[in-house]
C-alpha cells in the first residue's frame, strides 16, 4: 500500500492534507481562540479529560509571582496515570528497547509487565528507606531499567534527579550534593560505538563523602558481583513483592528535579511538580504528534535531558501508546542504524534534533537507500533553531515529502513543548516554530518589556496564565529563580516569564532565533560559558580563561577557549591536558574544540571580560568598542595568536 500523503504544498509553505485533517485530534484552528478566551478553564477541562485524579482540586490556578500553582489540592499519582489506568489492555506493548550491539535482541515490555517491575522496584526503594519527598539520583543510560526506576520513584512520591550518563564523576557529585540525594541508581556500564563504557567507576567516585549511602546497580555488562553498599537491580526486583500501593500526591508536590545550565558556573536544579507537568506532558504529546494508541513513538533524546523525560518516557505512556528507545550511537555499526530501527519497528512518530539530522546529511544519502521509512507519519525537531537546508533534507529524505515537521520550541524549564504548530492545523514552514500551544501565550518584547512590532526582533517571554508544565522554582535557590526568570517582574512589574531566547513574529507565527544570554547550544546540549570557564580555571595551570561559541556545521555551536596561563608553557600537550581536565570536570560534551593561549584577556575597567570582542576576532571581524577596554593592547596580541594558529 502506498503511504498516505499527510501534507500538501501551497505556495511556499506546507499545509495538512485532507488525510491528515481526518486523523488529527485537532484540525480546527478555532481551538486557539477558544483556549485563549479562558485559558484557565481550557486547562481545567483538559486536566479532567486527560489525567486520572484521586481528588479534584479546589483552585485551578493561583498566581503569586514569582510562583504560581496549578490544580491546587488536587490529588493524583503520576505512575498510576502512566500504568495502572492502562492495565485493561495490559498486553499492549509499552516499551521497545533496542540495544546497541546488533547481536543482542530488543526487549519489549507490555503494560502489565512494566507495571509488575515498577511495583517491585518501588518496594525495593521503600526497603532502602526511601520515602515521599526524598531525592533519588539516577545515573543511567537508555535502558528499560531507567524507565522502571523513574516510574518507581513517582509511585512512592520520591523525587528523581536524573543525571546524563556522559557527565563526569565531578558533575554527578555536584548534582548529588545539591539535591542531597539519599540513593543512587546506576549501571555497571553500557555500550557506545561498540565499546564498553564504564559507568560504575564514575558513580563510585561521585558518591564518596556524600549523602548517598546505597548504590543500586543495573548489571548491563554482566560484570562481577558486588556486596556492601551495592545492591543488584535485577536481584532486588526478583525478591520484592509485586504490588506497591501508590502514594497519593498533591498536584503541587515535586515530582522531579533536572539540572540545567544557566549563566553562572553552577547548574540549577529545575523543579517540576506532579499534576501540572502531567497535564502538559499528556496533551502536548497527544496533540503535537497526533498520538493514538496504535502509534509507536521514537524520541531519540537521552534521558539525561528534559526531552527524554517528557517525550521518550512519560508522554507516550500517559497516552497509553508505545515508546521506542535505543541505547546506542546513531551511526553504529553504520549510519543506517536509525533508519533500520524505524523500518523494523514501524515507527510512526519520530522526534529528534537538528544536530543529528545534520550529521546524517553529511554522511550522505547512500545510507538511506535500503530503507523505506514508510511507517512514518509525523516528524519532530527540537533543541536549537533548525536551518532551512536541514529542514528540507529531513522533510524530503526522511519524511519523503509526506510528513509534517513539527518544530517544537521549549526548555527544561517549560516541562513540555511551548511553541509549535499542530499537525492537523499547520502551516509547516522551515525555520518557523509557530504558535504558542493552545491555552498559552508568548510575546516578543524589548529590554524593558515593551511589546515590539511584528517582524522586529526582541526577547521572547511567556505571559500569564503560565503553562501548567512550567517550572516551580530552582531547587533550594529562590534567589537564582527570581534573577533568571523574573527580571521583567522585579524591574518593570510586568508579569512575564523570561525565556532568555530571541525571537520575532511574522504573520502571527513565532520564529525563535537563539539564546540571548551566555548559554550555548553544543549539539543541542545546553552549556553555560561560565560553567566551562570555571572548569578550565580550576586547572592548576590556568590563571584565567574566557569561552566563546563558534558556529559548527554539525554541532551548531562549539566552545573555543582563550586561556591565560599561571604556569607551564603553551604547547599541544598542555592543550590536550586542559581538554582532559574539562572532560573530568563536566564531560566530553563540553570539551573546547580549540584552546588559544594568550597573555591577557580584553577587559572593561570594572574587570569584566569582553567575550563579544573575542567572538569578533574569531570571526575575522573588526571589534568595536575597544575604547571601553582597560587593556586594548590585549586585542592586538590575541590577533597575532589567532594568526599563528591559522597557519
Ligand atoms: C533552549 C532550551 C526543550 C528541549 C530540549 C532543549 C533552544 C529548543 C528549539 C527550537 C529554536 C530551540 C532554545 C531554548 N531551543 N528548541 N525548536 N527552535 N531553539 O532544552 O536544554 O533546556 O534548552 O534550547 O534556546 O531556550 P534545553
Q: Per residue, what are the HEC states of 283-315?
A: HHHHHHCCCCCCCEEEECCCCCCHHHHHHHHHH
Q: Which of 150, 145, 204 is nearest to 172 (CA)?
A: 204
Measured in angstroms, how far is the CA atom of residue 384 from the centroid of ligand 1? 5
Mean pLDDT (the chain) is 96
Q: Which residue out of 414, 521, 522, 525 has the highest number of ligand 1 atoms within 8 Å of its CB and is therefore the one to mutate?
A: 521
614 and 542 within one domain:
yes
> What atom of ligand 1 comes closest to residue 412's alpha carbon?
22
Q: Are 324 and 98 in contact (CB under 8 A)?
A: yes
**pLDDT for position 515:** 94
Among the residue ranges 150-159, 456-465, 618-627, the one predicted with the least confidence is: 618-627
pLDDT band at 1 (very low <50, low <70, confident <90, very high): low
Question: Does residue 488 surpass a pLDDT of 90?
Answer: yes
- CATH assignment of the domain containing 461: 2.30.38.10
The rounded distance, in Å, linking the Cα atoms of 406 and 53 is 30
630 and 527 within one domain:
yes
> What atom of ligand 1 comes closest to residue 514's alpha carbon?
25
503 and 532 within one domain:
no
**Residues whose CB falls within 8 Å of the CB of residue 168, separated by 6 or more in sequence, listed in order:** 202, 583, 584, 585, 586, 587
pLDDT band at 180 (very low <50, low <70, confident <90, very high): very high
505 and 553 within one domain:
no
Q: Which residues of 330-359 are buried (b: 16+ CB within 10 A; e: fewer)?
A: bbbeebbbbbebbbebebbbbbbbbbbbbb
DSSP state of 365: G
Question: Does residue 646 surpass a pLDDT of 90?
Answer: no
The rounded distance, in Å, linking the Cα atoms of 316 and 295 is 9
Q: For residue 311, give the C-alpha cell.
A: 517525550
Question: Does residue 625 surpass a pLDDT of 90?
Answer: no
- 507 within some domain: yes
626 and 562 within one domain:
yes
600 and 562 within one domain:
yes
531 and 482 within one domain:
no
pLDDT band at 626 (very low <50, low <70, confident <90, very high): confident
528 and 486 within one domain:
no
Mean pLDDT, residues 591-620: 94
> What atom of ligand 1 comes closest to residue 307's alpha carbon?
4
**pLDDT for position 444:** 98
- CATH assignment of the domain containing 561: 3.30.300.30
Using a 6 Å cutoff on CB, does residue 382 contact ligand 1?
yes
Of the residues 483, 513, 543, the one at which a domain ends? 513
Of the residues 478, 513, 548, the one at which a domain ends? 513
- 640 within some domain: yes
Using a 6 Å cutoff on CB, does residue 312 contact ligand 1?
no
**pLDDT for position 262:** 82
626 and 568 within one domain:
yes
Measured in angstroms, how far is the CA atom of residue 410 from the centroid of ligand 1? 5
The rounded distance, in Å, linking the Cα atoms of 84 and 317 is 11
Looking at the 3D structure of the chain, how many domains does it have?
A: 2
The residue written with cell numbers 517571554 in the block is 461
> Global pTM?
0.96
Of the residues 458, 488, 513, the one at which a domain ends? 513
Pairing of strands 268-273, 254-260: antiparallel
- pLDDT digits 0-9 by tens, 313-322: 999 999 999 9
pLDDT band at 387 (very low <50, low <70, confident <90, very high): very high
- 18 within some domain: no
Q: For residue 561, give the C-alpha cell.
A: 577557549
Among the residue ranges 203-212, 312-321, 339-348, 623-632, the one predicted with the least confidence is: 623-632
Owning domain of residue 612: 523-646
Q: Which residue out of 268, 277, 284, 383 has the highest number of ligand 1 atoms within 8 Å of its CB and is therefore the one to mutate?
A: 383
- pLDDT digits 0-9 by tens, 290-334: 999 999 999 999 999 999 999 999 999 999 999 999 999 999 999
Q: Which of 146, 81, 140, 138 is nearest to 107 (CA)?
A: 146
pLDDT band at 647 (very low <50, low <70, confident <90, very high): low
> What atom of ligand 1 comes closest to residue 499's alpha carbon?
26
Using a 6 Å cutoff on CB, does residue 513 contact ligand 1?
no
Q: Are 68 and 465 in contact (CB under 8 A)?
A: yes
**pLDDT for position 2:** 74
Mean pLDDT, residues 127-150: 98
The rounded distance, in Å, linking the Cα atoms of 155 and 88 is 19
Measured in angstroms, how far is the CA atom of residue 508 from the centroid of ligand 1? 20
Q: Which residue out of 280, 284, 409 has the highest number of ligand 1 atoms within 8 Å of its CB and is therefore the one to mutate?
A: 409
631 and 607 within one domain:
yes
- pLDDT digits 0-9 by tens, 188-208: 999 999 999 999 999 999 999
Using a 6 Å cutoff on CB, does residue 515 contact ligand 1?
yes
Residues of the chain above pLDDT 70, percent: 100
Mean pLDDT, residues 393-414: 98
The SS3 call for residue 194 is coil
Question: Does residue 263 surpass a pLDDT of 90?
Answer: no
- 423 within some domain: no
546 and 495 within one domain:
no
**pLDDT for position 223:** 74
Among the residue ranges 87-101, 216-230, 234-248, 493-507, the one predicted with the least confidence is: 216-230
- 626 within some domain: yes
Using a 6 Å cutoff on CB, does residue 260 contact ligand 1?
yes
Nearest CA to ligand 1 atom 6: 383
Q: For residue 154, give the C-alpha cell.
A: 513517582
**pLDDT for position 550:** 93
Using a 6 Å cutoff on CB, does residue 526 contact ligand 1?
yes
- 127 within some domain: no
Mean pLDDT, residues 497-502: 98
Nearest CA to ligand 1 atom 23: 411
- pLDDT digits 0-9 by tens, 522-570: 999 999 999 999 999 999 999 999 999 999 999 999 999 999 999 999 9
Q: What are 562's strand-pairing partners?
A: 546, 596
Mean pLDDT, residues 392-415: 98
Question: Does residue 350 surpass a pLDDT of 90?
Answer: yes
Nearest CA to ligand 1 atom 14: 411
Rounded to 10 deg, the angle between the 169-179 and 200-207 helix axes is 50
- 252 within some domain: no
639 and 528 within one domain:
yes
Q: How many residues does the chain have?
A: 647
Largest Cα separation within the chain, whole Å, is 73
- 80 within some domain: no
Query: In whole angstroms, what separates CA 609 from the centre of its chain?
Result: 30
**pLDDT for position 265:** 79
Q: Which of 233, 188, 189, 183 is nearest to 210 (CA)?
A: 183
Q: What are 160's strand-pairing partners?
A: 136, 256
> What atom of ligand 1 comes closest to residue 417's alpha carbon?
3
- pLDDT digits 0-9 by tens, 62-117: 999 999 999 999 999 999 999 999 999 999 999 999 999 999 999 999 999 999 99
Q: For residue 169, give the C-alpha cell.
A: 564523576
Amino acid at each position: 500500500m502506498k503511504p498516505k500523503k499527510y501534507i500538501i504544498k501551497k505556495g511556499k509553505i506546507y499545509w495538512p492534507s485532507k488525510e491528515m485533517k481526518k486523523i488529527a485530534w485537532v484540525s480546527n484552528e478555532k481551538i486557539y481562540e477558544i483556549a485563549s478566551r479562558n485559558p484557565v478553564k481550557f486547562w481545567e477541562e483538559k486536566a479532567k479529560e486527560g489525567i486520572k485524579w484521586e481528588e479534584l482540586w479546589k483552585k485551578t490556578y493561583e498566581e503569586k509571582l514569582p510562583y504560581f500553582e496549578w490544580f491546587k489540592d488536587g490529588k493524583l499519582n503520576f505512575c498510576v496515570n502512566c500504568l495502572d489506568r492502562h492495565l485493561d489492555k495490559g498486553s499492549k506493548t509499552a516499551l521497545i528497547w533496542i540495544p546497541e550491539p546488533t547481536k543482542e535482541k530488543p526487549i519489549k515490555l507490555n503494560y502489565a509487565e512494566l507495571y509488575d517491575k515498577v511495583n517491585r522496584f518501588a518496594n525495593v526503594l521503600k526497603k532502602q528507606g526511601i520515602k515521599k519527598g526524598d531525592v533519588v539520583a539516577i545515573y543511567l543510560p537508555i535502558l528499560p531499567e531507567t524507565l522502571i526506576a523513574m516510574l518507581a520513584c513517582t509511585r512512592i512520591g520520591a523525587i528523581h534527579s536524573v543525571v546524563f550518563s556522559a557527565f563526569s564523576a565531578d558533575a554527578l557529585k555536584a548534582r548529588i550534593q545539591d539535591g542531597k540525594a539519599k540513593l543512587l541508581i546506576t549501571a555497571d556500564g553500557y555500550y557506545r560505538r561498540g565499546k564498553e563504557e564504564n559507568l560504575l567507576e564514575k558513580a563510585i567516585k561521585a558518591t564518596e563523602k556524600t549523602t548517598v549511602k546505597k548504590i543500586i546497580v543495573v548489571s548491563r555488562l554482566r560484570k562481577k558481583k558486588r556486596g556492601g553498599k551495592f545492591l543488584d537491580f535485577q536481584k532486588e526486583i526478583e525478591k520484592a513483592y509485586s504490588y506497591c500501593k501508590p502514594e497519593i500526591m498533591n498536584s503541587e508536590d515535586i515530582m522531579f528535579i533536572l539540572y540545567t545550565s544557566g549563566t553562572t558556573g553552577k547548574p540549577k536544579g529545575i523543579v517540576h511538580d506532579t499534576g501540572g507537568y502531567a497535564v502538559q506532558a499528556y496533551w502536548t504529546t497527544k496533540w503535537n504528534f497526533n498520538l493514538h494508541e496504535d502509534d509507536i513513538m521514537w524520541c531519540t533524546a537521552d534521558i539525561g535531558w528534559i526531552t527524554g523525560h517528557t517525550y521518550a518516557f512519560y508522554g507516550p505512556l500517559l497516552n497509553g501508546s508505545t515508546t521506542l528507545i535505543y541505547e546506542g550511537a546513531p551511526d553504529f555499526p553504520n549510519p543506517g542504524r536509525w533508519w533500520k530501527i524505524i523500518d523494523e519497528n514501524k515507527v510512526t512518530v519520530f522526534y529528534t534534533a537538528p544536530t543529528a539530522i545534520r550529521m546524517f546529511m553529511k554522511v550522505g544519502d547512500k545510507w538511506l537507500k535500503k530503507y523505506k521509512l514508510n511507517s512514518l507519519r509525523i516528524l519532530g525537531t527540537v533543541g536549537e533553531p533548525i536551518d532551512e537546508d536541514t529542514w528540507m533534507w529531513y522533510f524530503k529524505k526522511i519524511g519523503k515529502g509526506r510528513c509534517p515537521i513539527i518544530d517544537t520550541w521549549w526548555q527544561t524549564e517549560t516541562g513540555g513543548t511551548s511553541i509549535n504548530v499542530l499537525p492537523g492545523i499547520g502551516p509547516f514552514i522551515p525555520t518557523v516554530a509557530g504558535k504558542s500551544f493552545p491555552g498559552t501565550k508568548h510575546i516578543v518584547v524589548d529590554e524593558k518589556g515593551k511589546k515590539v512590532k511584528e517582524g522586529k526582533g526582541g526577547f521572547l517571554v511567556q505571559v500569564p496564565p503560565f503553562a501548567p508544565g512550567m517550572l516551580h522554582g530552582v531547587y533550594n535557590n529562590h534567589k537564582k529563580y527570581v534573577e533568571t526568570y523574573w527580571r521583567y517582574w522585579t524591574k518593570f512589574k510586568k508579569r512575564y516569564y523570561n525565556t532568555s531566547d530571541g525571537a520575532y513574529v511574522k504573520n502571527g507565527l513565532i520564529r525563535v532565533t537563539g539564546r540571548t544570554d551566555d548559554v550555548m547550544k553544543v549539539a543541542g546540549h545546553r552549556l553555560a560559558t561560565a560553567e566551562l570557564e570555571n572548569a578550565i580555571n580550576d586547572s592548576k595551570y590556568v590563571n584565567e580563561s574566557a569561552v566563546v561559541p563558534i558556529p559548527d556545521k554539525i554541532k551548531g555551536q562549539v566552545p573555543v577557549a582563550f586561556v591565560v596561563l599561571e604556569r607551564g608553557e603553551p604547547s599541544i600537550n598542555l592543550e590536550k591536558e586542559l581538554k582532559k581536565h574539562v572532560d573530568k570536570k563536566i564531560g566530553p560534551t563540553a570539551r573546547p574544540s580549540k584552546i588559544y593561549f594568550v597573555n591577557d584577556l580584553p577587559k572593561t575597567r570594572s574587570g569584566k571580560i569582553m567575550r563579544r570582542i573575542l567572538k569578533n576576532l574569531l570571526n575575522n571581524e573588526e571589534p568595536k568598542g575597544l575604547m571601553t577596554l582597560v587593556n586594548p593592547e590585549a586585542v592586538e596580541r590575541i590577533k597575532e595568536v589567532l594568526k599563528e594558529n591559522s597557519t
